[in-house]
Homo-oligomer: A and B are copies of this chain.
Amino acid sequence: MTDHAATGAAPITLLIVDDHPVVRDGLRGMFESAPGFRVLGEAPNGVEAVSLAAALDPDVILMDLRMPGGGGVDAIRELTRTGARAKVLVLTTYDTDSDTLPAIEAGATGYLLKDAPRDELFTGVRAAAEGRTVLSPAVASRLVSAVRAPGNEPLSTREREVLALVARGTSNREIARELFISEATVKTHLTHLYAKLGVNDRAAAVAAAYQRGILG
C-alpha cells in the first residue's frame, strides 16, 4: 500500500483522532493541502483509533486526549502494548494538561498544542514520523520538572494526613486547627504534595491519591 515511489519521497500517512468533527476537518484540510502528507482516516475516540490504526497502519497518529468513549491515554497504551508501528503525536487543546506525563509515559512520541502555528504542526509530524520527540515549549518545561520527580515520590506522613483531610472536604483553615498547625503550614504541605503527585489543585491531588492507592 504505502508505495514509496509517488511524490519523490513517500508521503507521511496520518490518522486523526479527535472527538470534535470540526477539529478533525480542520486538521484533515490542513494536511491534505500540504505536500508530503496523506490522511488515511479519522476516529472520534480512543477505542476506534486503536482498531483503525490496526487497519490503516498509518505512520503518525494525531491524537487528542480527553475524549468521551475511549480516552487518548488508554489508546496510546494499547497501541504501545500491541507493538503498533505508528508514532503517536498528542495534539491537545489547552496547555496545562494534567495528562502530559501519562501520555508520554504511555508511549506518545510528541506533545503539541492545537493552537501551534501550521509550520510547527508539519515539522512536528515529520519529526514524529522519524521517531524524534517533539514537545511544545510549555510541555517541555513541565517535563523537565517532572523528570526530576519520577512520579511516585512517596508522600511524607504529614502530607498524607493533610491530603486525607482534603479528601473529606476540609478547608485549609480547618485542617490547620485539626492538626494543631498554622494555615501557612498546611499550604506548604499542599504545595509539596502537589509537586510530588504532579497536580495543581486539591481535586486532582485527591484523584491522583486514589489512583495510587494512597487513599481509599
Contact = CB atoms under 8 A, between A and B. Distances in A.
Chain A interface size band reads 20 to 34
A96 to B, nearest CB: 8
Interface stretch (A44-52, A82-90, A198-206): A198-206
Interface string A160-188: 01000111111100100110000000000
A167 B200 CA distance: 11
Contact of A210 (B165, B205, B207): B207
Nearest to A161: B68
Contacts of A174: 94
A68 B99 CA distance: 32
Contacts of A80: none
A207 B68 contact: no
Contacts of A161: 68
A187 B171 CA distance: 19
Contact of A206 (B94, B177, B207): B207
